[in-house]
Amino acid sequence: MSCAPSLTEVEMVILELLQRDAPVSADLAAKLNLSVTPTWRRVKKLEESGLIQGYHAQIDPKELGFGIESFLMVNVHAHDERSNQLFEAAVGAIDDVVSCQMVSGAGDYLLRVVSRDMESYADFISRVAGALPGVREMRSTACSRPSNPLPDCQSAKAVPTKEAM
């Protein structure tokens, strides 16, 4: 369900700007040609509506010693709600899994995994991922470049707010 039609153009711009640089500040207000208080009120409204679900810092995994970034496609035996909940809860408790998406097509779930090195990744595959509830099959692909090798290549892009207008 889309809330976009009920948003003002300023609110859409706020969403776009916050996706690029999250802190609500006088700089954001200046980009909107508004004072800080009205800008803060509009951001608060977007948070309360659920459009803004939180703020985070994008961290370089390599700087924390994670030399391997990979994607793990997982097929599960069952697709009922209870099985999905068990699998997703188990995945959510694993620190090495930095994202998990239920997908369609060749697999059921796509996990993004960070590991210190290939040995620790192999250990993760055999001891951790293989023990997840309901796993039938796994296929792994290691990334050959860092998360953000070029300014134009981003691991997490902004949601295209202009498309929602």
Beta-carbon contacts of 63 under 8 Å, excluding residues fewer than 6 positions away, are none
pLDDT value of position 71: 94
**Average pLDDT for residues 63-81, to the nearest whole number?**
91
Which residues of the chain are in CATH 3.30.70.920 domains?
61-142
Condensed to tens digits (0 to 9), the pLDDT of residues 81-119 reads 999 999 999 999 998 998 999 999 989 999 999 899 999
- Over the chain, what is the mean pLDDT? 83
- CATH code that applies to domain 61-142: 3.30.70.920
On the question of pLDDT at 77 being above 80, the answer is yes
Condensed to tens digits (0 to 9), the pLDDT of residues 133-147 reads 999 999 999 888 755
Which residues of the chain are in CATH 1.10.10.10 domains?
4-57
Beta-carbon contacts of 162 under 8 Å, excluding residues fewer than 6 positions away, are 12, 16
Report the CATH fold assignment for 4-57.
Arc Repressor Mutant, subunit A (1.10.10)
Tokens 């948003």 correspond to what residue?
7
